Amino acid sequence: AQKITQTQPGMFVQEKEAVTLDCTYDTSDPSYGLFWYKQPSSGEMIFLIYQGSYDQQNATEGRYSLNFQKARKSANLVISASQLGDSAMYFCAMREGASNTGKLIFGQGTTLQVKP
């Protein structure tokens, strides 16, 4: 069973507008972490934001915020004030606490294109 689902293969957003990238997850582990990474065409994975399963507040990092809805098992990424440099592939990932390996399980990714 797929553990991380990103249902939007591609998204467009106008420069300076906000955009939400969807992510749902599935786990029976009560302790887990959720991540968002940005992957530009160069290939490097750039860490954006982390949300722990026990965190009460939604994580924020600059223009990035994570809309964490635990009951719905969703962890959507919100990018505010989009910039041309935000055009990239975005991956949602999960790390299960019980695995004790640190293994990241990735979704299929969403390609974001920011229009000028």
Partner 1 sequence: DAMVIQNPRYQVTQFGKPVTLSCSQTLNHNVMYWYQQKSSQAPKLLFHYYDKDFNNEADTPDNFQSRRPNTSFCFLDIRSPGLGDAAMYLCATSITPLDTPDNEQFFGPGTRLTVL
When asked if residue 87 is in the footprint of partner 1 (CB under 8 A), the reply is: no
- CA–CA dist 87, 114 (Å, integer): 5
Question: Contacting partner 1 (CB under 8 A), which of 96, 110, 112, 114?
Answer: 96
| Per-residue DSSP letter, 16 | T
Q: Which of 23, 11, 15, 12 minimizes the C-alpha distance to 105?
A: 23
Question: Contacting partner 1 (CB under 8 A), which of 79, 109, 110, 112?
Answer: 109
Task: Draw the binding track, 42-61, toward partner 1 (x: CB under 8 A; -: no contact).
Answer: xxxxxx--x-x--x------
**102 vs 116, which CB is nearer to partner 1?**
102
Element (H, E) at 105: strand 105-106
Question: Contacting partner 1 (CB under 8 A), which of 28, 71, 100, 116?
Answer: 100
Answer yes or no: are the C-beta atoms of 70 and 46 closer than 8 Å. Answer: no
- CA–CA dist 73, 4 (Å, integer): 10
Which residues in this chain contact partner 1 in the complex, by CB under 8 A? 4, 31-33, 35, 37, 42-47, 50, 52, 55, 91, 95-97, 99-104, 106-109
